Structure 1
Amino acid sequence: MTNRPSTRRAAHPQVGTRPPAERLESADPVDGAEPVTPEEPVQQLDATDYSQEDRLDDAEILPGVQLNPQQQKALQEMEAFVHSREKLYLLTGYAGTGKTTLLQALIKKLRAGGDRRRIVFTAFSNKATKVLESMASQWNLDIDCMTCCKLLGLRPEIDQTTGKQVFKPDANSETYIDRYQLVVVDEASMINEELWLLLTLAVADLIKQIQLLFVGDVAQLPPIGEPESRVFSQIYDRSDLTEVVRYGGAIALLAESIRNNLTRAQLPRFVTDTNCDRTEGVFAVERREWEKLLIRAFTSDACKHDADYVRGLAYTNRRVDALNLSIRNAIHGVGQPRFVEGDRLVANSPYMVGDSLILQTSSECEVLDVATGQDGPWQVWILHVLTDEGNHRTISVLHDLSKADYAKLLNLYAQEKRWQEFWDLKNAFADVSYAYCLTIHKSQGSTFQNVFVDIPNALINRNIRERNQLLYVAATRAAKRLFVYQ
C-alpha cells in the first residue's frame, strides 16, 4: 500500500438533538459527583508484504470498539508508515475523532503480529506526559512514557539575550531516543520550532531506525510567538481524522461548535446541558453562582483526594491571580502566610540548582513543608515539595521582604549591561504561582475532571481565531463537567 495522506475534507457532522437545558439550582453539580479517581532488532517489512488475508480485522481490532471507515484507513496508513523506511508521519484529529483509540489499535496490532519494536510516548509538558502514562497503563501497553526533554537529554534554560526559554543538552542526563524504534509525539500543536528541529535532527541519521509519529489537533493553540507548529506544515505523509465519533456529552458538542467556527466573531450560546444525574455536561450559570461553585469544588472532599479534580481557567495573568487568591483564602483562610502545607504550585519558568533541573515550566507540585531562611543577602522561603512525577524536591523562593532590593539590583545590572550577573540573579530562585487557577495556555495538554472557564476574560483577546482557539482548548480540558458564565 502506498504511504500517502488521507484526503482532507471539511468536517460538519450532524449533531443529534439534546434534552432541554436544566437549571443548575435543581441539583448540586459539585458535591453530588464522585471523584474520578540490550535492544531487540526490529524486522523491517514492506507494507506490500501484508495481504488482506494476513490483516487482522481493522474494524474490530479493539474489543467493543468499532472503527469507522476513516479510522480504518488511517490505521492502515500508519501501519504502512511503521513498516516503511520513512522517518516522519502525522496523525491529526479534533477532540472526539478517536486519535488515542487509533494509537491503541496500532500498538495492539503491531504486538499481535509479533512486532516487538521499542515504543515510547512523549509530550512537551509533564502534565501531558502524565496523561499518556495513565492511558498506557489503562491500555496495558508495554511502552515507555517521558517528556520530550528527557527523551532528548535536554534541559530548558532562559536565553540570556532574548529572555525566552530554550533547550540545551543536559550534562547530567543521558539521551534516550536511540533506545526506541517508534517515538509517538502527542500534543503536537505545542511543539515549537526549536523542539521540532531537535526532534527531527535526532532521527535524521539514515542508519538509525527511529521513526517519529506526531499526533495533534490543528484547532488547538500554537506555540507562543508562532503562527502554527511546524509539525502541521512540514510533514507530507499524514492521516487526518475529521469525523467526530465521541458524541457522549455536551462538552464534546460545544467544543465541536467552537472548532467549526474558529474565524467567527459571534460565540455559540452557552446553555446548561447535562446527563440525568448531572455528573457530566456543561453548566452555564451567572457569575456569582459560578464563583460559588468554584469555591465549593475546591473545598470538597473529592478535591482533597484528586489533584486533578478541578481547575479554574482564564486568559489573563491578572484574572488568574485574583481567582487563585479567592480559592486559596477559601481553602486555608484569609491572612495565611504566602506558602502553607498543602498549597498547590505551578512553575512559571524552569528552576535549576547548579546543573540539575528541579522544575520545568508549567510543572505542578504540592507543598509538603515550609520554612524561611537566608540565601546570602536575600530572605527566602524554603519549600519541600512533591512533584506530579512523585519526586521530592526542595525549592527556594524569594521572600516578599526582599523583593524591592532584588528588583533594584536587577535593574542596576540591566542598566550597566552586566548580563551574566543579571541572569544568575534572576534564575537564582524558583518562580512559582498558585495552581488552583491556570492560564488557558498553561492548561494545554492537561485534563481535569471539572473545569471552570472565565469566558468574559477570554474575550479580552481581540484576535478572533486565537480567542476561539482559547475557548476550544479550555472546553476540551474538562473530562466530566464544564462550568461557564457569560
Structure 2
Amino acid sequence: MKHPQLRGIDPDGANASSISELLQHQQDAARIEQIQAETLRDAADELCLQASKPVGFQATSEQQSAISGIAAFCRQSGVGTFASFNGPAGSGKSTTSRLIRESLINAGYTVGLCAPTHKACQVLADACKVNKSETATFASLLGLREKKTKDEVDFVPQPGSKPRLDENDIWLADEASMMHPKLLKYIEEAADFWTKIIFIGDQAQLSPVKFGRVSPALRCTPRFDLTKVMRHDGAVLDAATAIRQTTGSKWRIPFTKSIIGDSSSIFTYADKKEWQHAFLEMAAEHHEKDDPDAFRVIAWTNDEVNRLNAGIRRHVYGRKAAPFLVGERVVTHSGVKASDDHTELIYGSSRELLIRHATPVEFLHPACTDGKPFLSWELITQTDDGEPPRKIRAIDPTHEGRMQVFLKQLREQAFENMQRGSGQHAWDDFWDLNDSFAQLQPYWCLTCHKAQGSQFRNVFIQGRDLDRAAGGANERRRLWYTAATRAQRAVHVIADPEVKL
C-alpha cells in the first residue's frame, strides 16, 4: 500500500516580502506538512489497534504494543524488511497474530501466511480462521525444495518454480524457530524493498536441525515479545510452562500422578508396558474412525520412532499384513520425485499421505548389474489438502538391503569419478536410483523435530528417549517443552516414582 506524499502549502495571505519572511513561511509550511503526516500516522495506528479488537476482547499492554508496533513498522519504508514476534505457549501469541493480520488488512495491506511445514500451515490457518489454501510453506514460497544429506540441510531451486514474496505487502511467517539460517538467507535475497516479513515463534522450542542455536529469524529487530502466560486453564499448559522455566541441570518436572483438568490433562502410567498399551488401543480405535490427528507418539531418535511405528502397525494390521495397504496413512521421510520424471518433486518431506491403491510390481533399474529387478510397490496416494492423487513407487522392505548395496557401490563410484574431474554429474547414477523410490514410514510416531509446528489431541511422550538426548539439559528442556506443547487435550507419560535430574 502506497501512502500519499503531502505537500506543504503556504498560509493564506502570506506575503514573502523579504528573505527572512520567505524562510519563515517555508518553515511554517514544513511544520504543517509534518503535523499532517503525524496526524495520519496516529490515525492509522489507532485504526489498526481498534480494528484488531473484537467485541469483548481486552488486549494486554504487551499485545497492544505488539499490534501497534508491528503496524507502525509495516507502514514505514526504509526501516528494513524483517521484524520478529516472540511468545511462549499460553501467552496469546496465536490470537495476537490473528489480530495483527486483521488490523493490517483493515489498514489496506495484503497479508500472506506461511510456515515451515504443511501441518504448521494448517495450524496457522486454523488460528487465523482462513482456509489452508491461503497459506504456503517457506520453501514453496521461495521456489525451493529441501535437500538433506547426512551432515547438513540445504535448499535447492525447484524446477518450474520461482519466489512469490511479491504477491503480498506483508508475510506473517509462523513457527520461525524452525527456520534454518540458510533459508533466512534465501528470503533476504528474494525479498524486494517493499516487502515486510514478520517472523513469529517461540524461542523455547527446538532450534533448527544441525544448527544448535535459536534461529536468527527470531532475533530480528524490531522485536516484539509476549512474556506473560495468560491461560492457566489446563494441566498441559501448566506443565509446559513449568518445563520451560526449569534452569541449570534440571530440564523437566517430575510426573508422578495424573492431573485431570477441565480443558487439558496429564495422564501417567505405571510402566512402559501400560503406556504402550494405551496408545495401541487408541491407534486401533481411531484407525477405524479415520481420525488421523487423535494422537501421536513423540520420541527423540529415529530408531525409537521406527521401533514404535512397527509395533503399532503390527497391532493395527496384523503380523502378516502387506507392507503397503489401501487406506493406510504414511509420511514421507524426504522429498518424493515422480517415478517417471525425477526432475518433478511431487511431495516434500513430512507430507502425510493416504494410500488409495497399492500394487506390487517388479522394477528393473540400470543399477541392477545382476539383471534381477527390485520388488517394489506402485502406490496411488493423496493428501488431505484436496490435491489430485499421484502415482509413486516404494521399495518392498525385503529388497531395501539390496538397494542399499547398490547405492553404496554407486556412491563409491561417484567419489572416484569426481577425482577424475567428472564434477557433479558423477553423482547422476546415484541420485537416479535413490530418487526412484519414495521413502515412507507409518504416521503414528515421529521425532520431536518433525512434530514441531503440529497439533494433536493426545501426545504420548517417550520420556526415557528424550531424557537421554545429546546436548545436555538445555536441549532436553527444549525437547520436552516442544513435545508437551504439541498436545491440545492430553499428554501421556510414564510415571516417575522419583526423578533426580
With the shorter chain as reference, the TM-score category is 0.7 to 0.9
Aligned to 1:260: 245
Aligned to 2:159: 171
1:298–1:65: structure 2 CA closer, same or farther, 3 Å change rule? farther
- Which of 449, 456, 463 is 2:464 aligned to? 456
Which structure is larger by alpha-carbon Rg, 1 or 2? 2
Q: Which amino acid aligns with 2:267?
A: F
1:262–1:442: structure 2 CA closer, same or farther, 3 Å change rule? farther
1:54–1:219: structure 2 CA closer, same or farther, 3 Å change rule? closer
**Alpha-carbon offset, residue 303 of structure 1:** 6.7
1:54–1:380: structure 2 CA closer, same or farther, 3 Å change rule? closer
**Alpha-carbon offset, residue 148 of structure 1:** 1.2
Q: Which amino acid aligns with 1:350?
A: G
Aligned to 1:216: 201
Aligned to 1:105: 99
**1:303 and 1:309 in contact (8 A); partners too:** no
Task: Supply the RMSD in Å over aligned alpha carbons.
Answer: 2.5
Superposed counterparts of 1:142-181, under 5 Å: 144-158=134-148, 164-181=152-169
**2:294 and 2:457 in contact (8 A); partners too:** yes
Structure 1 residue 50 corresponds to structure 2 residue 16: no
Structure 1 residue 474 corresponds to structure 2 residue 483: yes
**1:313 and 1:440 in contact (8 A); partners too:** yes
Aligned to 2:377: 381
Aligned to 2:498: none
Aligned to 1:338: 323
| TM-score (ref. length: structure 2) | 0.81
**Alpha-carbon offset, residue 66 of structure 1:** 1.7
**Alpha-carbon separation, structure 1, partners of 2:300 and 2:3:** 49
Superposed counterparts of 1:391-430, under 5 Å: 391=387, 392-416=389-413, 417=415, 418-430=426-438
**Alpha-carbon separation, structure 2, partners of 1:170 and 1:60:** 37
**Alpha-carbon separation, structure 1, partners of 2:437 and 2:351:** 15
**2:283 and 2:316 in contact (8 A); partners too:** yes
For these two proteins, the number of residue pairs brought into alignment is: 435
Structure 1 residue 362 corresponds to structure 2 residue 350: yes
1:390–1:142: structure 2 CA closer, same or farther, 3 Å change rule? closer
| TM-score (ref. length: structure 1) | 0.83
Q: Which amino acid aligns with 2:310?
A: L
* 3-state DSSP of counterpart to 1:313: strand
Q: Which amino acid aligns with 1:101?
A: T
Aligned to 1:296: 281
- Which of 405, 417, 433 is 2:441 aligned to? 433
**Alpha-carbon offset, residue 48 of structure 1:** 6.4
**Alpha-carbon offset, residue 234 of structure 1:** 5.0
Structure 1 or 2: more helix by fraction:
2
**Alpha-carbon separation, structure 2, partners of 1:342 and 1:304:** 12
1:179–1:242: structure 2 CA closer, same or farther, 3 Å change rule? same
**Alpha-carbon separation, structure 2, partners of 1:306 and 1:326:** 19
Structure 1 residue 283 corresponds to structure 2 residue 267: yes
**Alpha-carbon offset, residue 156 of structure 1:** 2.6
Q: Deviations over 1:112-146 (max 9, x none)?
A: 4xx2322111011111012122233x3x5999311
1:356–1:63: structure 2 CA closer, same or farther, 3 Å change rule? farther
**Alpha-carbon separation, structure 2, partners of 1:295 and 1:64:** 43
**Alpha-carbon separation, structure 2, partners of 1:421 and 1:54:** 59
**1:349 and 1:361 in contact (8 A); partners too:** yes
Moved more, 260-269 or 46-55: 46-55
**2:353 and 2:383 in contact (8 A); partners too:** yes
**Alpha-carbon separation, structure 1, partners of 2:226 and 2:288:** 35
**Alpha-carbon separation, structure 1, partners of 2:183 and 2:41:** 35
**Alpha-carbon separation, structure 2, partners of 1:53 and 1:431:** 51
**Alpha-carbon separation, structure 1, partners of 2:62 and 2:4:** 26
**2:337 and 2:344 in contact (8 A); partners too:** yes
Moved more, 41-50 or 248-257: 41-50
Q: Which amino acid aligns with 1:157?
A: K
1:356–1:262: structure 2 CA closer, same or farther, 3 Å change rule? farther
**Alpha-carbon separation, structure 1, partners of 2:73 and 2:491:** 38
Q: Which amino acid aligns with 1:402?
A: H
**Alpha-carbon separation, structure 1, partners of 2:251 and 2:183:** 35
Q: Which amino acid aligns with 1:98?
A: G
**Alpha-carbon offset, residue 51 of structure 1:** 2.9
Q: Which amino acid aligns with 1:389?
A: D
Q: Deviations over 1:429-453 (max 9, x none)?
A: 1111111111111100100011111
Aligned to 2:21: none
Structure 1 residue 72 corresponds to structure 2 residue 64: yes
Moved more, 438-447 or 175-184: 175-184
**Alpha-carbon separation, structure 2, partners of 1:461 and 1:62:** 44
**1:188 and 1:229 in contact (8 A); partners too:** no
1:53–1:198: structure 2 CA closer, same or farther, 3 Å change rule? closer
Q: Which amino acid aligns with 1:155?
A: R
Residue identity over aligned pairs, in percent, reads 28
* 3-state DSSP of counterpart to 1:50: helix
**2:286 and 2:292 in contact (8 A); partners too:** no
Q: Deviations over 1:322-361 (max 9, x none)?
A: 2112211222122211111222211111111222211211
1:152–1:232: structure 2 CA closer, same or farther, 3 Å change rule? closer
What residue ranges of structure 2 are gaps of 5+ in the alignment? 6-36, 365-372, 416-425, 496-501
Q: Deviations over 1:216-247 (max 9, x none)?
A: 11011111111224435751211011101121
**Alpha-carbon separation, structure 2, partners of 1:125 and 1:47:** 41
Aligned to 2:76: 84
Aligned to 1:25: none
